[in-house]
A = this chain, B = another copy of it.
Amino acid sequence: MPQTEKNGDTLKRSTKTITIKKALKLSCGVSLEQHDLVYETYGHLNKAKNNAILICHALSGSHHAAGKDDNGNIGWWDNYIGPNKAIDTNKFCVVSLTNIGSCFGSTGPNTINPKTGKFWATDFPTLHVKDWVNSQKMLMDAIQIKGWIAVIGGSLGGMQVMEWSVLYPNLIKNSVIIAAALKLSAQNIAFNEIARRSIKSDENFKNGDYLNLGLNPSKGLALARMVGHITYLSDDILGRKFGRSTKNVQFESQADENSEFEIASYLNYQGDKFKKSFDANSYILITQMLDMFNFEGDSKSNKQPFKDAKCKFLVISFTSDWRFSPECSNQIVQKLMDTNKRVTYLKIESDKGHDSFLLPDERYENGLRVFLNRALEEFEALNSD
Residues of B within 8 Å of A253, CB to CB, are 294, 297-298, 301
Residues of B within 8 A of A360 (CB): none
A251 and B219 in contact (CB under 8 A), knowing A239-B187, A257-B28, A264-B193?
A: no
Closest to A303 in B: B253
CB contacts under 8 Å to B, within A237-253, are: 238-239, 241-244, 251-253
A223 CB → nearest B CB, Å: 6
Is A255 positioned at the interface, with any CB of B under 8 Å from its CB? yes
Does A215 reach chain B (CB closer than 8 Å)? no
User: Number of copies of this chain in the oligomer?
Assistant: 2
B267 touches A194 (CB 8 A): yes
Output the nearest chain B residue to A197 by Cβ-Cβ distance.
B223
SS of A interface (majority): helix
Q: Is A220 touching B194 in the complex (CB atoms < 8 A)?
A: no
Distance, CA A291 to CA B242, complexed state (A):
14
Contacts of A233 in B (CB 8 A): 187
Chain A, interface residues (CB within 8 Å), range = 35 or more
Assess whether A184 is interfacial by the CB under 8 Å rule.
Answer: yes
Residue of chain B at shortest CB distance from A127: B257
Q: Which residues of B contact A242 (CB under 8 A)?
A: 186
Given the known inter-chain contacts A189-B264, A201-B220, A202-B201, please indicate yes or no for A227 contacting B194, CB distance below 8 A: yes
Closest B residue to A262 by CB, please name it: B186
Residues of chain B within 8 A (CB-CB) of A190 are 226, 230, 238, 263-264, 267
Inter-chain CA distance A126–B255, complex, in Å, is 13
Given contacts A193-B261, A297-B253, contact A185 B238 (CB under 8 A): yes
Q: Return the chain B residue nearest A294 by Cβ.
A: B252
The CA of A187 and the CA of B203, in the complex, are separated in Å by 28
Contact B186 A238 (CB under 8 A): yes
Confirm or deny: A373 has a beta carbon within 8 angstroms of a beta carbon on chain B: no
Using A257-B288, A257-B292 as known contacts, list a sample of 18 further A-B pairs with CB atoms less than 8 Å apart, ordered by residue number in A.
Answer: A185-B235, A186-B235, A186-B241, A189-B244, A190-B226, A190-B230, A191-B230, A193-B226, A194-B226, A197-B223, A198-B201, A198-B223, A201-B220, A201-B223, A203-B203, A227-B227, A251-B298, A253-B298
**Cβ contacts A to B, 28 pairs, < 8 Å:** A28-B257, A185-B238, A186-B235, A186-B238, A186-B243, A186-B261, A186-B263, A187-B235, A187-B238, A190-B238, A190-B263, A193-B263, A193-B264, A193-B268, A194-B226, A197-B222, A197-B268, A198-B198, A198-B201, A201-B201, A201-B219, A201-B223, A227-B227, A252-B298, A253-B294, A253-B298, A253-B301, A257-B288
